[in-house]
Chains A and B, each alone.
Chain A
Amino acid sequence: MIFKFVAIAASTSLICASALAQNLAIQNATLFDGETVREDATLVIRDGTVVAWADDDRLPSGLEIIDAEGAWITPGIFSAFSQVGIVEVGAEDSTNDTSAGQSSFGAALDLSDGFNPRATSIDITRIEGVTRMAVAPSLGSSLFGGQGFIATTTGEPGSIIERRAFTFINLGEGGASISGGSRPAAWATLRAAFGDARAFPTRYLAHSEGDALGRMDAEAFTRAARGDQLLLIAVSRESDIREVIALKKAMSNLQIGIIGAQEGWMAADALADADIPVIIDPYDNLPGSFAQLGATQQNAARLLDAGVTTAFAYFDNSSHQARLILQSAGNAVGSGVDHTDALRAITSVPADIFGIDGAGRLTAGSLGDLVIWDGDPLEVRSAPVRIFIDGVEQPLESRQTKLRDRYLKLDESERPLAYKR
């Protein structure tokens, strides 16, 4: 049964790299549309986008009809934080473009320059249901990590849909240690950088150095500093979070999002008041550093209860295991988060945080990213059976499935396994 799906997907994939999006109707779905769950739903996708969905059977002609038989259908999962595609093997520096400690540039580092759609992690992430992702520098990167981007997981050239989608700032303990040795040093640097970016290019007419940023970094930081681009700030400790809230109050035009926020629940009301969205890993429940002594798996439920816009991500090896966002969301449900809220936190909410119109939803006008599941998407035992991105069916193969298929039977009676593929 499962192999049949794989075979269909594989044969489709040969065409779909160049094919137009399929026109299809999916019936009898348990449909999560990005906001709510509907039973016996019908979904119609044409030319790569959702054109309508209705509960009746009157469908336009010329559509491939898929009977979901009650299966769960969700928007493609949106990974709110990952390094997928910018590193092949974590410990091999030659393949790792997640951080650039030796570079004299910071905000000007454009992560999309390092994106390799052929990276093996792309297929491996996609076949677990992730179709779009925000790719950011690693949490251990410099104070100014650079410019993150948004990509699909088709693994095709041109799969970056927005370059320089956000500026990544690493404050708190991480930023302190790399910007002079203290939080005050990190904040002084950041404030100076705002001055530099807001005064760009005037300040740089005579010379190329500002108070904190060189010419290129100042230029790159301009959009975020003027409120035209998302500023994603990594902080954990309550006091650091409140400093960021104060920053937003002082510069109200900034579009700030917080990533990490392990002690976010301790400042939940203030985050909600300031309308600052957070990206958290619901797993985080250990005092792994002095900046997160209040870490608890209740963080997610408490933030949501307070009305904070909350997306989930998986922080532990987010280059190769970004796919575990679903398990992470399932565990949030186990810790008191509403099932539908958890689904939102990995679909429509991150799409909104990053301003990607039409992603993370399956309502009229949405992108044709969808996943048909063999069970409840947030259960660890479930997996996708069919995946579409922009209406194009995606292969369910990866380097890992090929290794698996080679070694399913250890039979070398005729030839070495190296001949089997």
Chain B
Amino acid sequence: MKIAMRLAVALSAATFLTACGGGGQDTENETNGEQAEAFDRDPYPSTYTPYPSGAVLLQNATVYDGVGNVFENYDVLLEGGNIAGMGEDLDAGDDVEVIDAAGKFVTPGIIDNHSHLGVYPSPGVSAHQDGNEISGPVTAEVWAEHGVWPQDPGFTRALAGGVTSMQILPGSANLFGGRGVTLKNVLSRTVQGMKFPDAPYTLKMACGENPKRVYGYGGGRFPGGAPYSRMGNVAGYRNSWIEARAYQEKWDAWEADGGDMPTRNLELDTLAGVLDGDILVHMHCYRADEMAQVIDMSEEFGYKVTSFHHAVESYKIADVLAEKKICSSMWADWWGFKMEAYDGIRENIPLVHQAGACAIVHSDSDIGIQRLNQEAAKALADGRRAGIEISDADAWTWLSANPAKSLGIFDQTGSLEIGKDADVVLWNGDPFSSYSNAERVYIDGALMFDLEQPDFTPVTDFELGQPGEGDLK
């Protein structure tokens, strides 16, 4: 089984993502009862279940299916929580709510694969800084879901921006920052109530300036600990991978031969999960040369980077990223706030797309997450002005399908295809316009936001009884 998983790692990204997309843990349990009993791989399971929904027919819309197609005067039927039908002049059966979407647009829900909502919530007071376990450079043992505050008002603003799923990541202070968690953007009393069912775990890693600044410079206490330099960063990752390999071999031997069960190590559980292909690596990395180093390192230790995040220099090695089938999760135009962001350009996203690599628009921002569609629009327009022709419909792959693939949830969501989760946005105009808003947001077919109905704007506990409670946002 382990060998099979490692082979999968070496295969194409699509194969890899499918092989590991939510099924990794289940497969493991089926084929290895012994280890399933050894410890629970899913001790904080999702309790999310879709809310009740009736059948809805969105009629005569312009539809981006999210995998590169656009359809005019098209209908989309949501039923039983899924995309139940798409086509021209679909029959609305009895008990189907028909919504006239003429002049409006229907798209898959936006998926942000880089958010810190909940771990760096609003208000940004000192008590709310739960996104970076800065206590050491290697904290692969921490899990973002243990720091997510489900009452973050930011979730509601993201919902109004058409975001239906997101990955919450630990921050980038550490070489290994910990596990990320993928959420449905449905408010809940608990984080478990938001967790995307069966989404694979992810691991946040970070390149470059942040780890060496936070640790090497020791918060002003010179000299701090390692890493102090980019050299130290890479040595730090490699040492950890060597430990993880040894840990993995110990468990493999125990599974094969029995004997005393090895002592568990939370940090190495996560890293071994990466080596096993069960946990997807999302790595904060700005500079092209550093990404190339990390790619070599991943091959040295037999794992795969799923997506480089921020990746402001992906355009410099877009050919390599295409060949290695590694996604880039990017802003449209952020630059200059630190040295490794100095070479940011407006055409990064379209250049990555043009090279045949996987391009993703991400936010890393509680403001940016509210208008990722506009960020895609900027990149699209800037690319066209530079002679890079990409259709509007293709550009939507940056917002739903590609991020869904990077999170291993594309089998369930990320496109409008029959049988998939009805995570759908009805826009009141062209979603690539500054002036358009998400009018209705459906998650698993249930109406979770309606611009026209105040009752369908969620209000977090924090905002209840405060100025602006229930206000238009």
Q: A interface vs B, CB < 8 Å?
A: 2-3, 88-92, 120-121, 124, 238, 263, 266, 283, 285-290, 293-298, 316-317, 319-321, 324, 327, 330-331, 333-335, 378-383, 400-401, 403-404, 407-408, 410
Contact at B467–A407, with CB atoms within 8 Å?
Answer: no
Chain B: minimal CB distance from A221 (Å) = 31
Chain A contacts for B337, CB-based, 8 A: 89-91, 317, 319-320
Chain B contacts for A383, CB-based, 8 A: 381-382, 385
Chain A contacts for B467, CB-based, 8 A: 238, 263, 266, 293-294
Chain A: minimal CB distance from B339 (Å) = 5
Contact at A285–B473, with CB atoms within 8 Å?
Answer: yes
A294 with B468, Cβ < 8 A, contacts A286-B154, A289-B123 known: yes
Task: Provide the bound-state CA to CA distance between A283 and B161, in Å.
Answer: 12
A91 with B209, Cβ < 8 A, contacts A266-B467, A382-B381, A400-B346 known: yes
B interface secondary structure, majority: loop
Contact at B347–A404, with CB atoms within 8 Å?
Answer: yes
B344 CB within 8 Å of chain A: yes
Interface residues on B, range: 35 or more
Chain B contacts for A296, CB-based, 8 A: 468, 471-473
A408 with B386, Cβ < 8 A, contacts A287-B153, A379-B434 known: yes
Closest chain B residue to A408 by CB distance? B386
Q: Which of A333, A380, A410 contacts B319 (CB 8 A)?
A: A410
B297 CB within 8 Å of chain A: no
Binds A, one of B26-34, B133-141, B198-206, B370-378: B370-378
Chain A contacts for B463, CB-based, 8 A: 287, 293
Chain B: minimal CB distance from A271 (Å) = 16
Q: Which of A89, A297, A379, A410 contacts B338 (CB 8 A)?
A: A89
Chain A contacts for B335, CB-based, 8 A: 124, 320, 400
Contact at B336–A89, with CB atoms within 8 Å?
Answer: yes
Chain B contacts for A283, CB-based, 8 A: 367
Contact at B351–A407, with CB atoms within 8 Å?
Answer: yes
Contact at B124–A378, with CB atoms within 8 Å?
Answer: no
Contact at A293–B336, with CB atoms within 8 Å?
Answer: no
Task: Provide the bound-state CA to CA distance between A89 and B370, in Å.
Answer: 26
B44 CB within 8 Å of chain A: no
**Which residues of chain B from 354 to 385 have any CB-CB distance to chain A below 8 Å in the complex?**
355, 365-367, 370-371, 374, 377-378, 380-382, 385
Q: Which of A2, A89, A238, A298 contacts B471 (CB 8 A)?
A: A298
Q: B interface vs A, CB < 8 Å?
A: 122-125, 153-154, 157, 209, 315-319, 333-339, 342-347, 351, 355, 365-367, 370-371, 374, 377-378, 380-382, 385-387, 432-437, 462-463, 466-468, 471-473
Contact at A327–B436, with CB atoms within 8 Å?
Answer: no
Chain A: minimal CB distance from B181 (Å) = 21
Contact at A379–B433, with CB atoms within 8 Å?
Answer: yes
Q: Which of A290, A324, A327 contacts B123 (CB 8 A)?
A: A290
Task: Provide the bound-state CA to CA distance between A118 and B410, in Å.
Answer: 47
Contact at A404–B433, with CB atoms within 8 Å?
Answer: no
Chain A contacts for B387, CB-based, 8 A: 2-3, 408
Chain A: minimal CB distance from B20 (Å) = 30
Chain A contacts for B342, CB-based, 8 A: 89
Contact at B472–A290, with CB atoms within 8 Å?
Answer: no
Chain B contacts for A404, CB-based, 8 A: 315, 345-347, 351, 386
Contact at A290–B125, with CB atoms within 8 Å?
Answer: yes
A380 with B378, Cβ < 8 A, contacts A400-B345, A410-B355 known: yes
Task: Provide the bound-state CA to CA distance between A330 and B434, in Å.
Answer: 5
Contact at A380–B336, with CB atoms within 8 Å?
Answer: no
Closest chain B residue to A385 by CB distance? B385
Closest chain B residue to A378 by CB distance? B434
Chain A: minimal CB distance from B460 (Å) = 10
A92 with B123, Cβ < 8 A, contacts A286-B367, A379-B434, A404-B386 known: no
Task: Provide the bound-state CA to CA distance between A386 and B106, in Å.
Answer: 35
Chain B contacts for A290, CB-based, 8 A: 123, 125
Chain B: minimal CB distance from A312 (Å) = 13
Closest chain A residue to B346 by CB distance? A400
Listed by A's residue number, 13 A-B pairs whose Cβ atoms lie within 8 Å are: A89-B338, A91-B339, A120-B336, A238-B467, A286-B366, A287-B466, A296-B471, A298-B472, A316-B365, A381-B377, A381-B381, A408-B387, A410-B318
Contact at A327–B374, with CB atoms within 8 Å?
Answer: yes
Chain A: minimal CB distance from B470 (Å) = 11
Chain B contacts for A317, CB-based, 8 A: 334, 337
